[in-house]
Amino acid sequence: MPKFKKPIDIELLKEANDYFETLPDKIQTKFFVSFDKTKVGLKGDWFKSIGDEIWEFRQRDSQKFYRLLAFWDKTKESETLIVATHGFNKKTNKTPKSQKKRAIRIKREYFDK
């Protein structure tokens, strides 16, 4: 298991949490597994960079793709955070540019606090 200078934790901002709570239990469980894998430093298709320092947690079922967009916050002394900005469903595997721009805007607002 990889060793990190600081532990990794995952935080869902209100909009991301509101979306997450609407998901079917099966998909929530899949996301929880993805979060746990990411926290210990494992890499896989469940968490990928989509450019501009925005990442996405990815899950799917037979009908939809589920996404939680996120960014890294390495400014904390005690831990590194992965901050989920918001989530959305889609029918294809391509992330709309408008969703990426939204995540960038939320990231800016987060760091401007």
Domain with residue 42: its CATH number is: 3.30.2310.20
Q: Are 88 and 95 in contact (CB under 8 A)?
A: no
- Tell me if 69 is assigned to some domain: yes
8 Å CB contact between 100 and 88: no
Looking at the 3D structure of the chain, how many domains does it have? Answer: 1
Using the predicted structure, report yes or no on whether residue 5 has a pLDDT greater than 80. Answer: no
Q: Is the pLDDT of residue 107 over 60?
A: yes
- The strand pairing partners of 49, in sequence order, are 55
User: What does the pLDDT look like over 65-95, one tens digit per residue?
Assistant: 999 999 999 998 888 999 999 999 998 878 9
Tokens found for residue 112: 């401007």
CB atoms within 10 A of CB 67: 24
- Which residue segment(s) compose the domain that 55 sits in? 8-112
Question: What three-state secondary structure class fits 90?
Answer: strand
Structural domain includes residue 1: no
